[in-house]
Structure 1
């Protein structure tokens, strides 16, 4: 079969791109190929469900712009499709003087980025969250919570309603680009498309390599492991509670997150995983590990992050270490409050010299667009990211 566009990957970015293509070019033919039996199975279906406001990102950067626009677009989409969400607000809590200084930098960033915020002192923090301790906090008023799996399913419905196809159970095994088209083979069928757009997440480097692109990076899987507070503690906080992030690290630290389902999750940490798409503790995939070991960046990443890696691995093994991270700002938590462990896996593109790619990374050819790095806040930003990719694809 022949299509105008073929999208590989039915996570939230791939589906948002398909929807944007059909909205920009009504009547065009679009097919989405997904190897899993459902949409949004991996990164989309395993994140913390936060609608981010964009507080962390460099003023004027693509991430800052996409996140701010994406948060508003996500809420509009949810309203239009009857998807529940809640604007809880987020408190970034400073627990020492170093974090207070970092918080002031975030206050300035929020001001420049036009993000609604309030600076709270210790007493004002206690008034809002009696069980949270800190020297002060930054309240980001527009942060919310949602179930992105429901967003994904609604996006898939929109794609189908506009005449597109979403094919699950369709793992891509071969890609061949010609001057006039791209041929994409799955185990069961072959399709031809004028343009291929790959939004393959944890498999982005492999799909790029399969398509014949020079690949100077590798996707490294970082596990984010969560606990869930026992039901008796489900009202311990009303806001999302985050630590002040360390600007030297690409992750945001362990936080308390109310969910749209009424629970509170605790996490995530950030541990280099031994499998890209296996979520049980200590999961291991021989192919994934072999590729990491052969990639020269692994040694550089390990050498540059010895102390952080050791701490995160300790916390992954021993619940007590994880609890200590939380008790810095929520001292009333006890060990048996942390229950029902689960994990997400973040696709982190790493260059051959060991540099983490912190921004969106897109590689193109005459007839292909490969989204090879779509870091957080990709779920929040998915709708404008889809529009951006559709524009780059030439619609």
Structure 2
């Protein structure tokens, strides 16, 4: 019997753990989660979008696993009665200067085999009557779901298969064949690190030198007042700037009918820093002095300052939303929470723009799994489990 230990009880960790027991039902699988319930961090603060896979380079892990993941997520939700909706989305060019990038995005979508269609301004208004644009691309296969509910179901299924989910088990050390935690020691023949915001720290504990460091970026959301949600029918995104990993402020009609606007992207002051008040001096000092971040910041100073200004000014945030839908004013927006993206950055300041999975010895480390990891989670699990290290 092989003893597998998965560190991290978010959607990726639980998807991997469930897949392990589906493929290796006679083995022992333990999930270690430091919080008191699964999915507390990236999973629980997710935008809820089932991404189609438009943005990712053809042949990359993100492109292949996201497209397959969208289909398998819909199948999973259908089978297990998790509410979801295929809404489609519009990616809109708000002025003529963005049309070239929109056409490039269309080609990338076509390269990835996705059903997309270019729309005129008038055609776009048939989908979203209040949108402002000069042209748009319709992505038919995009949807919405509550990934917290998906994670709850994954945890239940994992338990029914005989898995052991240990909550309140913060990892404190890793030896050759044991994982030390605040809830005791756990023997491990194979270790799988799905620790999200702390994935690089766990890798170091396990004796692995990660090729990139996790840098936390907070994304802050607003939401439309309940009496204004009828302005938005589905999902409306701007044309992204390919220099940055963030998609820009967008509008998302959630599965419960609320409408979220955002996120922006600012450097968090802690790895789990969901507001300006959440400060971890040690973590922030390590992040702020990391050469990779300093090099990235020097190249993108204007962008970073504009994101910070939008975080600190409700007026500027509302102006960004109004670029997509001019009828939305600052008075229409209420605070909507925040999430933290675990973005891996290399020492040279370049962003890791694909999923990064490092296999070494009897260990697997998921070192970069931001969006679209939730969409892709079931396929990431299959990808990892299909090529596991064999214990000696």
- TM-score relative to the length of structure 2: 0.97
Deviation of 1:394 after TM superposition, in Å, equals 4.0
The equivalent residue for 1:303 is: 298
Post-superposition CA distance 1:99-137 (Å, at most 9, x none): 111111122222222211221101111222111010011
Q: 1:194 aligns with which of 170, 189, 196?
A: 189
The equivalent residue for 1:274 is: 269
In 2, distance between residues paired with 1:347 and 1:56?
18
- 2:297 is paired with a residue of what secondary structure? helix
Deviation of 1:80 after TM superposition, in Å, equals 0.9
Q: What's the Cα RMSD here? A: 1.3
1:367 and 2:366 matched:
no
Q: 2:236 aligns with which of 218, 241, 246?
A: 241
In 1, distance between residues paired with 2:230 and 2:166?
41
Post-superposition CA distance 1:341-382 (Å, at most 9, x none): 311000011111111111111222211111111121000000
Deviation of 1:216 after TM superposition, in Å, equals 4.0
Query: Residue 268 of structure 2 contacts residue 274 of structure 2 at CA under 8 Å; is this kept in 1?
Result: no
Alignment of 1:176-187 (within 5 A): 176-177=175-176, 182-187=177-182
The equivalent residue for 2:63 is: 64
The equivalent residue for 1:323 is: 318
In 2, distance between residues paired with 1:110 and 1:302?
30
Deviation of 1:17 after TM superposition, in Å, equals 0.5
* Residue ranges of structure 2 left out of the alignment (5+ in a row): none
Shift of the 143–152 alpha-carbon distance from structure 1 to 2, 3 Å rule, reads same
- 1:48 is paired with a residue of what secondary structure? coil
- TM-score relative to the length of structure 1: 0.96
Alignment of 1:27-176 (within 5 A): 27-176=26-175
In 2, distance between residues paired with 1:109 and 1:290?
38
Query: Residue 3 of structure 1 contacts residue 192 of structure 1 at CA under 8 Å; is this kept in 2?
Result: no
Q: 1:344 aligns with which of 336, 339, 343?
A: 339
Between the two proteins, the alignment pairs up a number of residues equal to 390
Query: Residue 251 of structure 2 contacts residue 259 of structure 2 at CA under 8 Å; is this kept in 1?
Result: yes
Shift of the 293–127 alpha-carbon distance from structure 1 to 2, 3 Å rule, reads closer
In 2, distance between residues paired with 1:329 and 1:192?
53
The equivalent residue for 2:206 is: 211
In 1, distance between residues paired with 2:102 and 2:355?
25
* Residue ranges of structure 1 left out of the alignment (5+ in a row): none
